[in-house]
Amino acid sequence: MTAQKTVLVIGGSSDIGHATALRYAQAGWQVALAARDLTTAQRNADDVKARTGVEVLVHELDVLQTDGLAEFVTRLTTLPDTVISMIGELGDQKRAETDLAHATQIMRTNFEAPSLLLGLFANAFQARGSGTLVGVSSVAGDRGRGSNYVYGAAKAGFSQFLSGLRNRMALAGNVRVITVKPGFVRTRMTAHLKLPAPLTVMPERVAADIYRSAEENGREVIYVGRRFWLVMTIICLIPEALFKRLKL
């Protein structure tokens, strides 16, 4: 009998994290969540258990407390087979233009903290000789736009970190690094925004794509939805002289 595989979802209070935990549990994995909001994470864990019978462990973790990240990794009783970072904060672009503390928090939450944490898991996976890392980034990192460039720049940094880590791990044995770039997803992060229906997906779709790419087909950089890949390809091709005149 093969041992049951384990996944750790960091940002276990998030809507996409909840859907992803459920997807893995449905596939027979052991699931753990890490979150700073233990009430919501426990509610998600209870829901996954009610629907699948899988007992879900919940760990407390504030990723901005970066001094504690190494200890968090070493204290886990089981090093997971797959680690997924859902960490993110959209923030308020207008506020971030003048409030440096807010801009700093968006940058640290979307870039610094998840990069440091996945980097630590990469070292542990390299020492073991196996593992899969999944970083949920965003299409917002593909090109800086006036309406959300603080978040977008941080996601761009995270995508590049994952790219470099994948490059390093390719020469280091059986450790895989997956970058996930959702477009518009209907979650509490976007609840206050009017999203274009044809381009908007539900968290379950992101979860299914994460599972497929991490555990089945092996694609390492994915856009959630071909349509969004096309949209971003066009946006990236617009010449700068024209792009800077657009209100995007």
Q: Among all residues, which ones are annotated catalytic?
A: 151
Q: Which of 7, 8, 9, 16 binds ligand NAP (CB under 6 A)?
A: 16
Interface with ligand NAP, residue 88, by CB under 6 A: yes
User: Which residue type occupies 137?
Assistant: S
Q: Which of 44, 52, 187, 213 binds ligand NAP (CB under 6 A)?
A: 187
The piece of 43-51, 66-74, 84-92, 120-128 that touches ligand NAP (CB under 6 A) is 84-92
Interface with ligand NAP, residue 131, by CB under 6 A: no
Q: Which of 128, 188, 227, 244 binds ligand NAP (CB under 6 A)?
A: 188
Q: Which of 5, 26, 27, 36 binds ligand NAP (CB under 6 A)?
A: 36
Interface with ligand NAP, residue 62, by CB under 6 A: yes
Interface with ligand NAP, residue 162, by CB under 6 A: no
Looking at beta carbons, which residue is closest to ligand NAP? 88
- Binding residues for ligand NAP, rule: CB under 6 A, are 11, 13-17, 35-37, 40, 61-64, 86-89, 109, 136, 138, 182, 184-185, 187-190
